[in-house]
Amino acid sequence: MPERKMSPVLKWAGGKTQLLEHIVGNMPADYNNYYEPFIGGAAVLLGISPEQAFINDVNEQLVNLYTQLKIAADSVIAKVNEIDATPCTKELYYAIREQYNTKISSRDFDSECAALMIWINKHCFNGLYRVNSKGLFNVPYNNKVNGKSIDENNIRAISEYLQKADITITCLDFEKACDGVSSGDFVYFDSPYVPESVTASFTDYTIDGFTIADHKRLAALFKRLDGIGAKVMLSNNDVPLVHSLYKGYNIQSLNVKRMINRNANKRTGKEVLITNY
């Protein structure tokens, strides 16, 4: 549908750019509505650019970013360029981070908040997104003086796509975001992953706040959607817990490179792609 190929605006943990071809190759040939309840960096949505989609994420700033790219891309671009005009230093990074956190605290979700989020993502350590108990962003500076923080043509292409296609953007828990799914729809789930070290009896909180109870809730939803005749695909780590939660479905193992890991030895891993069709 869009004239040019689009790519994610943010570096995002679990970004699916490298697995995109494989994911797309395993999608059903036809379906009605497309649902992506954990949109994250949106690599899959932007890769397939469906004419209609329900996209969702629980991260309010991320949802604001897509909303602003849709309605106010020029303002977002102008603000990022304005910050980029000054070479980045440690002082500038922390000043921008403070501005961003002031926006978050006052729930001031606008084009400026979206621009700050993009700029910070390019200048923070490893493109991580981490907040403290008060919900404030606390990732340190990556010590790099980058050039431009955005590809303007990519942002304009995304904006045009979000305007022309029928895209509904919501900020809900994944279960609620699937309320409207019906027979013949296609849902792609890319939740935060089960940690590699976790066992089936592990019940504690994971670092990203997505608990084992959440993974069980997701597996129950997968089953429910399967039961109503939806087509469902899910990505996760290749660990025993995931195999036991999705027993009976088609489970493919895939080798992946992991960019966001402090330890260079842990930058390869195994994931699964699970389908009910």
Tell me which residues touch ligand SAM (CB under 6 A).
12, 14-16, 37-38, 40-41, 43-44, 57-59, 62, 173-174, 190-192, 210
Strand order through the sheet with 52-56: 166-170, 52-56, 34-36, 186-189, 231-237, 268-275, 250-257
> At its nearest, how many Å lie between ligand SAM and the CB of residue 274?
14
> At its nearest, how many Å lie between ligand SAM and the CB of residue 95?
26
Q: Which is nearer to ligand SAM, 90 or 176 (CB)?
A: 176
Torsion of CA 127, 170, 150, 162, to 10 degrees: 150
Q: Which long-range contacts (CB under 8 A, 24 or more apart) does 206-210 make?
A: 208/13
Look at residues 231, 66, 22, 76 and name the one whose alpha carbon lies nearest to residue 165.
Answer: 66
Please identify which residue in the block is written with the tokens 């943990």.
13
Q: Which is nearer to ligand SAM, 86 or 132 (CB)?
A: 132
> At its nearest, how many Å lie between ligand SAM and the CB of residue 87?
29
> At its nearest, how many Å lie between ligand SAM and the CB of residue 31?
18
Please report the sign of the dihedral spanned by the C-alpha atoms of residue 39, residue 65, residue 168, residue 224: positive
> At its nearest, how many Å lie between ligand SAM and the CB of residue 190?
4
Look at residues 230, 227, 232 and name the one whose alpha carbon lies nearest to residue 276.
Answer: 232
Task: Please state whether beta strands 34-36 and 52-56 pair in parallel, antiparallel, or not at all (unpaired).
Answer: parallel
Q: Which is nearer to ligand SAM, 157 or 234 (CB)?
A: 234
> At its nearest, how many Å lie between ligand SAM and the CB of residue 82?
27
Q: Which is nearer to ligand SAM, 142 or 170 (CB)?
A: 170
> At its nearest, how many Å lie between ligand SAM and the CB of residue 129?
8
Q: Which is nearer to ligand SAM, 35 or 174 (CB)?
A: 174
Report d(CA 269, CA 30) in Å as an integer: 31
Structure tokens at 12: 């995002």
Between the alpha carbon of residue 247 and those of residues 47, 94, 226, the distances in Å are 29, 47, 13
> At its nearest, how many Å lie between ligand SAM and the CB of residue 199?
21
Report d(CA 203, CA 105) in Å as an integer: 31
Is residue 47 within 8 Å of 188, Cβ to Cβ?
Answer: no
Is residue 76 within 8 Å of 118, Cβ to Cβ?
Answer: yes
Q: Which is nearer to ligand SAM, 159 or 191 (CB)?
A: 191
